[in-house]
Amino acid sequence: MTIDEIYRFVQFSANKEQRGFIKPSEFNLLADRAQMELFTQRYNNLKEHMNVRTKTASQSTVPGVQYASNQKVLDDLRAFINHDIDLTYDATNRVFDYPANYIHLTSLSHAGRNIKIVNEDKIYSILNSSITPPTLTKPVAVIFNEGIRVYISSDENGVLISGVKCSYLSRPTRPRWAYVEVDNNPLYDPSNSVQVDLPEQTHNELAMKILSYIGINLKDNDVYAFGEIKQKAGI
């Protein structure tokens, strides 16, 4: 559905339930909240999925089963996955800056090699290790609030300053139902509207999530029924 179809469905349902007119500003706020909630659910499911895959691999059970069962999660998040993005180095803080709209890091690399990410409380024992200290070919990274620091030697000041790439999940764009006023009524303005980032297969769920915020709880059948009413009535 387009953002206009979602908006009209919300208005139709609100009128049907005698909940009054939903202002565009209210709808835009709720649409962003609903999309973020659905995104967060998928994102948390993805993290759980990756943890299960790691555990499964260590137990030498059948690989790929969890991946197949969670393919829909990955499909729903596809629009937010950014691959091999060059990071900018911040010389003041000696870190690589996070990309715009950054939510979650999925991988970090340098010169085609993965960079191991460790917790801050582990980095000093790694730097002091005589067996497996970080090197240019086996760097390690720590996630700080200021950015990502990548170490390439046992010296704390031996940090990498260029050539780091990352893959990450970005924040969904805020949806917006834009309008112009005609006879004191809002009329949809497609040129200034912002569509939902989540894929089509999630839009029914998104619409129902928006309605749940105003106390209207529907089922999938209600959404499909609206589609038929819309075609007949031309709404």
pLDDT value of residue 232: 52
pLDDT value of residue 18: 85
Q: Is residue 214 part of a domain?
A: yes
The domain total for the chain is: 1
Q: Is residue 26 part of a domain?
A: yes
pLDDT value of residue 220: 56
Q: Is residue 87 part of a domain?
A: no
pTM: 0.80
Q: Is residue 29 part of a domain?
A: yes
Q: Is residue 46 part of a domain?
A: yes
pLDDT value of residue 89: 98
Q: Is residue 64 part of a domain?
A: yes
3-state secondary structure the chain: CCHHHHHHHHHHHHHHCCCCCCCHHHHHHHHHHHHHHHHHHHHHHHHHHHHHHHHHHHCCCCCCHHHHHCHHHHHHHHHHEEEEEECCEECCCCEECCCCCEEEEEEEEECCEECEEECHHHHHHHHCCCCCCCCCCCCEEEECCCCEEEECCCCCCCECCCCEEEEEEECCCCCECCEEEECCEEEECHHHCECCCCCHHHHHHHHHHHHHHCCCCCCHHHHHHHHHHHHHHCC
Structural domain boundaries, residue 29 = 1-80+192-235
pLDDT value of residue 64: 37
Q: Is residue 231 part of a domain?
A: yes
pLDDT digits (tens, 9 = 90+) for 43-89: 887 666 555 544 444 443 333 334 444 788 889 999 999 999 999 99
Residue stretches of the chain with pLDDT short of 70: 46-69, 219-235
Q: Is residue 17 part of a domain?
A: yes
pLDDT value of residue 51: 59
